[in-house]
Amino acid sequence: MLSLWKRVRYRLEWIGLLIAARLIPLLSRKSCFHLAQMLGAIISILDRDGYRVALKNLEMAFGDELSQHDRRKTARESFQHFARTMVDFLWSPNLTRENFSHYIELQNFEECARGAGGNGLIMVCYHYSNFEWLSMACGFAGLNSTIIAQEFRNSLLDPIFRAIRERAGHELIPRKSSIVRLYKVLRRKGTTALLVDLTVRPRHGVVIDCFGLKKPVTSAHAWLHERTGVPIIPAHCEPLSDGRYRIIFHPRIDHTAGMTHQQIAQACWNSFEPYLRKKPAPWLWMYKHWRYRPANADRPYPFYVRASRGFEKIIQRDQANSIGGTSMCRL
C-alpha cells in the first residue's frame, strides 16, 4: 500500500510528464537541444550523489588519462546527454518512417540486414547517447523487434512511455517470463533488442571486464543465441555535432561455437568499449556500474561497491567454464 505522500508524488510526476509530452513536440530541434543542455546542467548540480558517483566512475575507468577538470566536464556532459535523450524521446512523435532519416543516419545497417537475413536477430545495445532513438530508427527502417519493457516504480508513467515506444512498430513485453517470450520469438525467426550494460545481481548473470574492473551483467543474449543460433549484432547511438544522431551497427559476433556465456558477453562489450573510451560523455556515468568487488581485487574500485561471496563464486564459475569449455549459466 502506497503512502499518501507517494500517491501524491506519483500523481504529480504523471501530470508533469503529460504536460511535457504535449509541449515538447511543439519545440524546434534547436530548442530541444538547449532545453536538454540546461536541464542536464541543473540536474548535475542538484543530484550531488549521482555527480559524485560519475566522478568516481570516471576516475576508476580512466585513471590519469583524464584530469580532474576533464572528469568534471565529462560528468556534467553525461547528465546533459541523458537529459537530451529524454527530451528527444518526448519529441519523437514527430518522427515518421518518411522523415526519420533527416535526424538519424544509419551506419553499417547492411551488417544488420545480413545478420538477420530472414533468420532472426539479437541486437545488443548500450545506455549510450540516445538509445531510445536507436530503437525507433530500427523500427522505422523495417527492423521491428520484441523488446522487454522496463516498468517504472510509478506505474502511471508506463502507458505514456509505452505509447511512444510502440510508434515505430516494436512489440513491448513485460519482464515477467520475458526470456521465454523472447526465445519463442527468435525460434520464429523474429528480432529482439536487449540493453546489456547495466549491473545485475551476480547470480543472475556473468562477470565481464569493463575498463579492467569486474562487473556482473546479463547473459540473456548469450543464452538466447546458444539456444536458437540467431546471430548477435551489437549497436550503439552516438551524437553528431549538428544535433542529429548516428546509429552504428557493429560486426556480428562470430565464431561463438564452444564459447561460454561469459565469453560471448565479453565479446559484445569489447566491441563497444573502444567507442566509449574515445568519447565517454554520452554513457550513464552517474549509474553505479560496479556494485561488487572481488575479494582479492588488484586495483581500486569505486566507494559504493561492496564485497559479495556470490560475486566471487560467479567469477570462479566463469573461470572454470572457460577452462572446461562449457557454457552453463543461470538466468
pLDDT band of residue 15 (cuts 50, 70, 90) is very high
Checking phi first, is residue 189 left (phi over 0); if not, alpha (psi -120 to 50) or beta?
left
What is the SS3 assignment for 192?
strand
Q: What is the pLDDT of residue 330?
A: 45
DSSP H/E element including 311:
helix 309-324
Q: Kindly tell me if the per-residue pLDDT of 155 is higher than 70.
A: yes
The per-residue pLDDT for range 181-200, each reduced to its tens digit, is 999 999 998 999 999 999 99
**What does the alpha-carbon distance between residue 34 and residue 154 come to, in Å, rounded to a whole number?**
28
Q: Kindly tell me if the per-residue pLDDT of 49 is higher than 90.
A: yes
Q: What is the pLDDT of residue 328?
A: 44
CB within 8 A of 65, min separation 6: which ones? none
Query: Cell 558477453, residue?
Result: 265
Q: Report if pTM > 0.85.
A: yes
pLDDT band of residue 325 (cuts 50, 70, 90) is low
